[in-house]
Amino acid sequence: MWLRVILVAIVMSFVAPAMAAPDGARLYRRLCSVCHGDDGNGGVGVPLRLPAFQSSVSDAYLKKTIKHGRPGRIMPAFDYLNEAEVQAIVDHIRGWNEGKRPGFSQARIRGDAGHGAKLFAKHCAQCHGENGQGGHGTGVTFSRPRDLPIIAPALNNPGFLAAAPDAMIKATLEKGREGTPMVSFRKQGLSEQDINDLVAYVRSFEQQHPEPDRLAQEIEPILVYESPYGLEETVEAVKRAAVGRNFRLIREQTLENGLFPEDQENDRQVIVYFCNFNFLYDALAVDPRVGLFLPCRVTVVEQQGRVKVMSINPKRLSTLFNNENLNQACDHMYQLYTEILEEATF
């Protein structure tokens, strides 16, 4: 009997909070506000508060976007949230506007995708990219102001295509989005059939089959080379190799610097920090969170008579960011790190 009472009490302590309605404001603040702003005014992410945005997207679109994100475009998939939590976030977002929540038919719109492709090249590609890949970089950057409140979305993104029904795309083309560079294409002189053709072309992006990304788990987390030289000699070789690739040396210290008194630091673990400020500036524009890679660093370690040179693997770390533009920068960094480590240990 007592066992039953205790077990029920334990269960209720979990069930009661779980059964309570989720707090949309709290969830939004914790999960969304860093990119979309506390009040939905945007930043790295879309300005969700914008009336023209709210009046052109359905709740279903918002929910699917939260669940699936935008692969490769920073917006992560919050696939661990339950339905009630997602709905609570959507309700919180909708609370900023009093307007009606639009709904859209899920039916496919028929159109001539071939003609739509020509119209897309003429009217859309300048902002959305030749293949619908979207604008470059993030929205208003974390660290520096930008000219536009948003970056043109990637229309070929599988997350977008899964979330946006044809009717929603059509309505956006017809009405535009006030407060963003997206204009009404009916007002620009396109006919309804033209717009249907454009929708058919955008939908055809679903047939693109991009190369699947290599699984993150298959990428080594660090780059490591054994050096045939002594520690001090290897440190100098690392510095020469970095400078030879247009990096500026900014600091040399032990791994334990700042953690132990100077005379107690292990001087057989030496970090060389370096930076290419031009590359850094460009990388910050691609993704302001890039600080987690900073500064560029190679560590030289002597352990049991062997000297190793190691660095993070930028390719592996970049998988955490869900930003395909950053992946390209990280591929370049991987190449540079590899060259530096190889040269220093050659």
Contacting residues for 120 by C-beta, under 8 A, at least 6 apart: 128, 132, 198, 201, 202
Least distance between another protein and beta carbon 264 (Å): 9
Cα–Cα distance measured from residue 258 to residue 78, given in angstroms and rounded to the nearest whole number:
37
Q: Which is nearer to another protein, 82 or 106 (CB)?
A: 82
Q: Which is nearer to another protein, 43 or 132 (CB)?
A: 43
- Does 316 engage in binding with another protein (CB under 8 A)? yes
Angle between helices 324-345 and 277-286 (to 10 degrees): 150
- The answer to whether the beta carbons of residues 62 and 90 sit under 8 Å apart is yes
Three-state secondary structure call for residue 1? coil
Binding mask 3-42 for another protein (x = CB under 8 A): xx--xx-xx--xx--xx---------xx--xxx-xx----
Which of these ranges, 50-58, 135-143, 161-169, 180-188, lies near another protein under the rule CB under 8 A? 135-143
Binding mask 77-96 for another protein (x = CB under 8 A): ---x-x--------------
Three-state secondary structure call for residue 244? coil
Cα–Cα distance measured from residue 150 to residue 112, given in angstroms and rounded to the nearest whole number:
29
Binding mask 172-211 for another protein (x = CB under 8 A): ----------------------------------------
Q: Which is nearer to another protein, 121 or 250 (CB)?
A: 250
* Residues 139 to 178 in contact with another protein, rule: CB under 8 A: 140, 142-144
Cα–Cα distance measured from residue 39 to residue 221, given in angstroms and rounded to the nearest whole number:
37
Three-state secondary structure call for residue 53? helix
Three-state secondary structure call for residue 131? coil
Please report the DSSP string for 139-208 in residue order: SS-SSS--SSSSPPP-TT-HHHHHH--HHHHHHHHHH--TTSS---TTTTT--HHHHHHHHHHHHHGGG-
Least distance between another protein and beta carbon 249 (Å): 12
Least distance between another protein and beta carbon 310 (Å): 5
- The answer to whether the beta carbons of residues 151 and 160 sit under 8 Å apart is no
Q: Which is nearer to another protein, 92 or 289 (CB)?
A: 289
Binding site for another protein (CB under 8 A): 3-4, 7-8, 10-11, 14-15, 18-19, 29-30, 33-35, 37-38, 43, 76, 80, 82, 140, 142-144, 216-217, 221-222, 224, 250, 253, 255-260, 266, 269, 273, 275, 277, 280-281, 284, 288-289, 291-292, 294-295, 297, 299, 301, 303, 308, 310-312, 316-317, 319-322
